[in-house]
Amino acid sequence: MSSIEELVRKVADRLELNENNLRKFLNEAFKEVSERYNLCRDFQSRAIRFGQTFEACFKIIMEKFFPDINLKSHVPLPEACMTGGGGVDFAVIVTDKNGDKKLVAVIEAKGSADHIICNGKRIDLPRPGMLRTDTVKKAICNAYLISRIYKNEVLFFIVTSHKPTEGDAKCMCDLAEGDVVTKIVDITNYTELEEMVKMIRRKLQEFG
């Protein structure tokens, strides 16, 4: 377990993580990691640390509320040109009746903090999560690669800290969702998490 994940787990325990405090959990996790890794000064590693923090938050949320969904982290898919550090963030894999492993769902994690506290002052960070068009493009590109190899047999979700409500980012999300992207999920919205999990469970049932 990484030190960031350990830190985030302590935040979840302290807040007694529940379906009504998901946004607070996310904000507190980013705050704790910012302080631990001095991200006010080390801004060059901020994006990487926040990305790791978001992945840890999502993993812990899934374990807490949907323990039947077995997530695998950083799974390489060579046939989709995703290897090494380019493996998918999370995957759901099942063993079928013949003993073969089948990819059921891919989950792309695109989340970050919307602010940081430095010297007691809040500094808003621009375009967190899926509000950045380049972030959206990367996620949709990965969705295309999965759809190209696995056709419509594999679910593809994007989980995020912030969903766009306007502009080009929302336009791209609207075009992709329901096509190469199964669903874009705000992990601070418990209803959206439930909808994603229901889709995964239905797909798992196909394998008995």
155-160 and 183-186 strand pairing: parallel
Percent of all residues in the chain with a pLDDT value above 90, rounded to a whole number? 88
**What sections of the chain are H helices per DSSP?**
3-15, 22-36, 46-65, 133-150, 167-176, 190-205
Q: Tokens for 95?
A: 């063993």
pLDDT digits (tens, 9 = 90+) for 109-118: 999 999 999 9
Q: What per-residue confidence (pLDDT) applies to 98?
A: 81
Per-residue pLDDT for 43 more than 90? no
Encode 116-152: b = buried (16+ Cβ within 10 Å), e = exposed.
beeeeeeeeeebbbbbbbebbeebbebbbbbbebbee
Which domains are seen in the chain, by residue range? 3-205 (3.40.91)
Q: pLDDT by residue (tens digit) across 164-179?
A: 999 999 999 999 999 9
Query: Looking at the predicted structure, is the pLDDT value of residue 208 above 80?
Result: no
Q: Mean pLDDT for the chain?
A: 95
Return the higher-pLDDT residue of 202 and 151: 202
- pLDDT for the residue numbered 85: 79
3-state secondary structure of 127: coil
The pTM score is 0.95
pLDDT at site 44: 86
